[in-house]
């Protein structure tokens, strides 16, 4: 049994990060173990988790499992979990309650916990004491070990806990079964060293470690050869890409330029921390047409006092300076979105009005807004919090009103204009429509024939809603 350990997870040594290329192996004894069996994966949380699930799928299919979208039909259920806020936790435990019932009628069913919650000591302790009926637990650092963990469990028939809390290496060669054949996630780095005081990610995802540029570029080239139109470069703090390289000076701006030069039709990247956003990066984004004019720039709070308590390393003023620089260089047509937390411990009415004022000033295209959720083991969890939940809810509503107003305003400006949309799928709302995104990440529903799926087309915008646009093909 290998349990997670937050003390270990917090450590950042000077030890070299290794790139390991031969670590993924499927032992002979489990090569056919999934023949005639089905797996179901439930993914919670961010894009990183979605991409991890694509890898877990490919690994299971290497063992001959086939996919099902109905968990009741599955022989193996994997919950790929998120730890960022309490409600993500609650959803997972709710799902485990339902699965427990299923397992009572289907004793052969195997159930596993993966993802960020697996990296939390308290969660794993709870699984060991109250969820003994589960089959195995693995973490974010050892997805590639899934075949061996499964093999071990099949030998012992006991709950197998195998979670690493080391700083982590870069593992190459893990296959991925991508959900889309049009756009793809590409990891460029793992982990985070920023340690914002509210955030669990540096503990669950480990030390910041960048993939080698040549591995990223060859993955992008391979995706182009398979017909992919768009890649999203993924990391918790992509602007810090390359800072961990000891022997070369190669940063996010270099990577963005090299990825743009591959000729892929669209390049996106998430998530940016304002701290590492350089002028050169803005210039590169402006220079290349295939780098999308879409920047997700989390601000978290509009109060410099709260930003300091959050350990964000910038002030309201320096954030606004960066924001304006981006707007000026990329033009009014670029879209900028953000993340905001309300109700951080000790947030006063004045602090919150600073956040509202900042949202009014930035007029974001959209934003993810959250109520602060204490995460065990993080510094903010032990800060005194005297703001009531009612008050926090009220602040969230007020903030959302401002965010929604400007989201609608940004969409209204597009009515009558012709924009380029990458059509991806049949619209969820109306099966006679196709859905896709502009390079500025606006969702557009278009009345169009299915032959346009996978194509970037000119669309005339007819109507704006708060979170989407309707349009028609403009040939
Ligand atoms: N409580 C609320 N929101 C959080 N986020 C991260 N940690 C917490 C927390 N403890 C938000 C931040 C981050 C986004 C991914 O989730 O806004 O940018
Ligand atoms: Fe969490 Fe992002 Fe801060 Fe890293 S930079 S600690 S992932 S909020």
Assign 15 a pLDDT band (cuts: 50, 70, 90).
Answer: confident
CA–CA dist 276, 99 (Å, integer)? 43
Q: Would residue 57 be called left, alpha or beta, if left means φ above 0 and alpha means ψ between -120 and 50 degrees?
A: alpha
Q: Please give the mean pLDDT across all residues of the chain.
A: 96
d(C-alpha 162, C-alpha 409), whole Å: 49
What share of the chain in percent tops pLDDT 70? 100
Q: What's the average model confidence in pLDDT over 351-359?
A: 98
pTM greater than 0.85: yes
Ranges of beta strands (E only) in 134-260 are: 136-138, 160-162, 170-171, 183-187, 189-190, 209-210, 230-234
For ligand 2, whether the C-beta of 116 sits within 6 Å is: no
pLDDT at residue 167, rounded to an integer: 81
Q: What is the pLDDT of residues 249-285, one digit of tens each?
A: 999 999 999 999 999 999 999 999 998 899 999 999 9
Q: Can the peptide bond before residue 271 be classed as cis, meaning omega within 30 degrees of 0?
A: yes
d(CA 193, CA 273): 12
In 3D space, the residue among 441, 432, 413, 439 whose CA is nearest the CA of residue 472 turns out to be 432
Residue 475's pLDDT is what?
79
Please state the atom number of ligand 1 nearest to the C-alpha of residue 198. Answer: 10
pLDDT in tens, 237-251: 999 999 999 989 999
| Nearby residues of 247 by Cβ (< 8 Å), 6 or more positions away | none
* Residue to probe by mutation, ligand 1, list 297, 341, 359, most atoms within 8 Å of CB: 341
pLDDT digits (tens, 9 = 90+) for 122-172: 999 999 999 999 999 999 999 999 999 999 999 999 999 999 998 889 999
Cα–Cα distance, 459 to 333 (Å, whole number): 16
| pLDDT over 90 at 430, yes or no | no
* Averaged pLDDT for residues 199-217: 96
Q: Yes or no: say if 193 and 146 are a contact pair by the CB < 8 Å rule.
A: no
Identify the sign of the CA torsion 62, 64, 65, 68.
positive
Q: Is 199 in the pocket of ligand 2 (CB under 6 A)?
A: yes
Our answer on whether the CB atom of 192 is closer than 6 Å to any ligand 2 atom is yes
Give mean pLDDT, residues 76-85. 98
pLDDT at 332 over 90: no
| Number of CB atoms found within 10 A of residue 165's CB | 22
Closest CA to 371 of 344, 352, 405: 344
342 lines ligand 1 (CB under 6 A): no
Q: Of all residues in the chain, what percent carry a pLDDT higher than 90?
A: 95
Which residue shows structure tokens 């919670």?
Answer: 44
């Amino acid at each position: 049994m290998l349990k997670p350990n937050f003390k270990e997870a917090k450590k950042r040594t000077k030890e070299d990060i290794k790139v390991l290329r031969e670590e993924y192996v499927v032992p002979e004894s489990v090569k056919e173990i999934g023949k005639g069996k089905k797996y179901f994966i439930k993914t919670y949380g961010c894009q990183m988790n979605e991409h991890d699930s694509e890898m877990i799928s490919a690994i299971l299919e290497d063992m001959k499992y086939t996919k099902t979208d109905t968990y009741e039909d599955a022989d193996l259920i994997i919950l790929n979990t998120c730890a960022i806020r309490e409600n993500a936790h609650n959803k997972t435990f709710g799902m485990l309650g339902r699965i427990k019932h299923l397992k009572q009628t289907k004793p052969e069913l195997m159930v596993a916990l993966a993802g960020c919650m697996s990296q939390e000591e308290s969660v794993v302790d709870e699984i060991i004491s109250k969820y003994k009926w589960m089959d195995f637990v693995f973490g974010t650092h050892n997805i590639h070990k899934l075949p061996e963990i499964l093999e071990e469990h099949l030998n012992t028939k006991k709950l197998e806990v195998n979670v690493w809390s080391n700083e982590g290496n870069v593992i190459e060669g893990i296959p991925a079964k991508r959900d889309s054949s049009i756009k793809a996630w590409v990891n460029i780095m793992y982990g985070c060293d920023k340690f914002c005081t509210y955030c669990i990610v540096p503990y669950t995802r480990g030390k910041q470690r960048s993939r080698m540029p040549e591995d990223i570029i060859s993955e992008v080239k391979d995706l182009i050869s398979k017909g992919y139109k768009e890649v999203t470069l993924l990391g918790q703090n992509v602007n810090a890409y390359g800072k961990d390289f000891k022997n070369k000076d190669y940063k996010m701006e270099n990577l963005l330029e090299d990825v743009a030069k591959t000729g892929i039709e669209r390049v996106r990247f998430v998530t940016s921390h304002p701290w590492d956003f350089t002028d050169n990066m803005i210039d590169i984004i402006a220079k290349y047409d295939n780098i999308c004019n879409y920047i997700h720039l989390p601000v978290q709070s509009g109060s410099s006092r709260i930003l300091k308590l959050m350990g964000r390393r910038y002030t309201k003023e320096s954030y606004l300076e960066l924001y304006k620089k981006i707007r000026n260089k990329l033009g009014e047509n670029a879209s900028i979105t953000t993340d905001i937390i309300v109700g951080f411990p000790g947030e006063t009415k004045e602090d919150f009005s600073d956040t509202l004022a900042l949202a009014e000033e930035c007029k974001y295209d959209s934003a993810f807004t959250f109520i602060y959720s204490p995460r065990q083991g993080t510094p903010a969890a032990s800060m005194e919090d005297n703001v009531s939940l009612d008050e926090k809810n009220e602040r969230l509503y007020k903030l959302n009103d401002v965010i929604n107003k400007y989201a609608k305003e940004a969409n209204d400006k597009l009515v009558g204009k012709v924009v380029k949309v990458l059509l991806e799928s049949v619209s969820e709302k109306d099966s006679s429509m196709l859905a896709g995104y502009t390079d500025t990440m606006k969702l557009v529903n278009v009345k169009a024939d299915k032959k346009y799926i996978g194509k970037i087309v000119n669309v005339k915008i007819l109507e704006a809603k708060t979170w989407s646009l309707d349009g028609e093909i403009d040939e």
